[in-house]
Amino acid sequence: MQEQLERLIEERQQLHKVIRNSLEENIKAMRKFIEQLKNPKDKRE
């Protein structure tokens, strides 16, 4: 029982790490996108 619990906790922590990382990546991408919208460098259409 204890082993199962420890494994669950570990898996949960790993999951949190993965989710947080992907969220941070998404946020960075969004910020970059917003900056590009605010000041477009090239006016190609």
What pLDDT score does 4 carry?
Answer: 96
pLDDT number for residue 43: 65
Q: Is the pTM of this model over 0.75?
A: no
Confidence of residue 44 (pLDDT cuts 50, 70, 90): low
Mean pLDDT over residues 26-33, rounded?
97
Predicted pLDDT at 40:
80
User: CA-to-CA distance for 43 and 45, rounded, in angstroms?
Assistant: 6
Looking at residues 17-44, what average pLDDT do you find? 92
Distance CA(38)–CA(21), nearest Å, equals 26
What pLDDT is recorded for position 18? 97
Would you state the structure tokens that stand for residue 22, as one six-digit string? 């992907």
